[in-house]
Amino acid sequence: MSKCYGCGAEIQFNDISLPGYVPESVFSETDKVLCQRCYKLKHYGQLLPVSADSDFSKNIDTVLRDFKNIIYVIDIIDFNGTFRDEICEKIKNKNVILVVNKVDLLPKAVSYNDLKNWVYNQVKDKLPIKREFIRMVSAKNSTGIKRLFRVIKENFNSKMLVMGVTNVGKSSVMNALDYSHNSTVSSYPGTTLKLIKSNIKNLDHEVFDSPGIEPKDRLSDLLDIYAQVKMIPVKEISRKTFKPDPGRVLFISALFRMKILDYVKDDLNPVFIIFAPQNISFHETNEERAEEILGNRKVLFPPFDDNFNFEAIETERKNYTIYEGSDLVIPGLGWISVRRGPLKTTLWYPKGIKPIIRKSMVSPK
């Protein structure tokens, strides 16, 4: 039976709720086949509800046995949510090119050379990799794509597996490389459902695009796929500077908040910048009003749905101290870059979401 060239699912005519459905009346053995789900995604941006177990993590060990060359795609905007320790452990003995996608969404003042140095220092202890095999790219505007092609061509001489977590832009990167298969590209996580075999133009060996690995520890993972799409930045990420007094409360979305505990030295207020996509709200208030505004979707979002079940979210509370030159990262949401500190704060966040402290990605100029 034929397979959909967009998502890799086997074509079937019986059940529209399952992957690979095509009306039998339009099916032709002689044409490349696009299932109804991919067709509507490609031409209308519409996602059909399909029951599919597309989590590649269940099969990753078996699949990796057949590959020594890996193209690992991550999202620079959600670096800590997409560069995964568990993936590094599985591919550390492979030949790996780390493709850092969506660099165009960072502030324009960010130097790609400085960014590559930052990424290298973040990954080198977890993934043995040559600096030249870390490639800064934007699939959207083709930044870095020609150089990525040359690195692949000069260093890989057999079949390759493209992998990464959901929605980092794996298929977009491969299509930008003139990927002959034209797999379906959309903002919806889980678009690729099976391994898709094809070639990159002017390369002899096969390329396999894999389904996205689905983590469960990013804040965005708590939301439905429609909300996740709204959270994806389509232009340079938003950033706003705060200098709050002790006792003030800041929300980043309705699912993460922080209370400022103290001044920094010499009774100065802490100074920090919040970086996040456009459709994520920042809101500062006093402690007395914090609970009152929680359900206001016009002020705090995501979630975007008035009917979101907050009672199903178990919240953790913990004190953090973040020093100057460090970021506090909320995987799947954004990060807080401390410019005058230390920032002493109490955080409230959903259980299972682990805030991370790292060296600042975007250095002050």
Residues 27 and 87 in one domain: no
Q: How sure is the predictor about 189, in pLDDT bands with cuts at 50, 70 and 90?
A: very low
Whether residue 100 sits in one domain with residue 24: no
Q: Is residue 223 part of a domain?
A: no
Does residue 364 lie within any of the structural domains? no
Average pLDDT value over all residues in the chain: 86
Instruction: Kindly state whether residues 87 and 195 are assigned to the same domain.
Output: yes
- Residues 37 and 63 occupy one common structural domain: no
What is the rounded average pLDDT of the residues 236-249? 96
pLDDT tens profile 15-39: 877 777 888 777 776 667 877 777 7
Which tens digits make up the pLDDT trace of 132-179?
Answer: 999 999 999 999 999 999 999 999 888 899 999 988 988 888 888 875
Residue at 274 is within a domain: yes
Query: Could you tell me if residue 15 is inside a domain?
Result: yes
Segment 327-341 shows an average pLDDT of 97
pLDDT at 57: 61
Confidence of residue 272 (pLDDT cuts 50, 70, 90): very high
The answer to the question of residue 221 being in a domain is no
Residue 181 maps to a domain? yes
Q: Which residues span the domain enclosing 334? A: 231-359
CATH label of the domain that carries residue 159: 3.40.50.300
Name the nearest CA neighbour of 259 among 320, 302, 339, 205. 320
Backbone angles phi and psi of 107, in degrees to 5:
-55, 140
pTM: 0.83
End-to-end CA distance of the chain: 58
- What is the per-residue pLDDT across 91-107, written as a single tens digit (0 to 9) for each? 999 999 999 999 999 99
Question: Quick one: 244 and 331 in the same domain?
Answer: yes
Domain boundary (155, 189, 215) is at: 215
Distance set, CA 319 to CA 260, 348, 349 (Å): 10, 9, 11
Give the pLDDT score at 47. Answer: 52
- Residue that terminates a domain, selected from 25, 52, 79: 52
Q: Is residue 222 part of a domain?
A: no
Looking at the fold, whether 277 and 347 belong to one and the same domain comes out as yes
Same domain, 207 and 280: no
pLDDT in tens, 44-100: 555 555 544 455 566 788 888 889 999 999 999 999 999 999 999 999 999 999 999
- The total of structural domains in the chain comes to 3
Tell whether 203 and 315 lie within a shared domain: no
Token pair for residue 148? 């990525």
State the pLDDT at residue 51: 46
Q: Where is the domain boundary, 185, 215, 245?
A: 215
If asked whether residues 208 and 274 sit together in one domain, one would say no
> Do residues 130 and 262 share a domain?
no
Q: Is the same domain home to 64 and 208?
A: yes
In a domain, 365, yes or no: no
Q: Are residues 236 and 299 in the same domain?
A: yes
- Percent of the chain whose predicted confidence (pLDDT) is above 90: 55
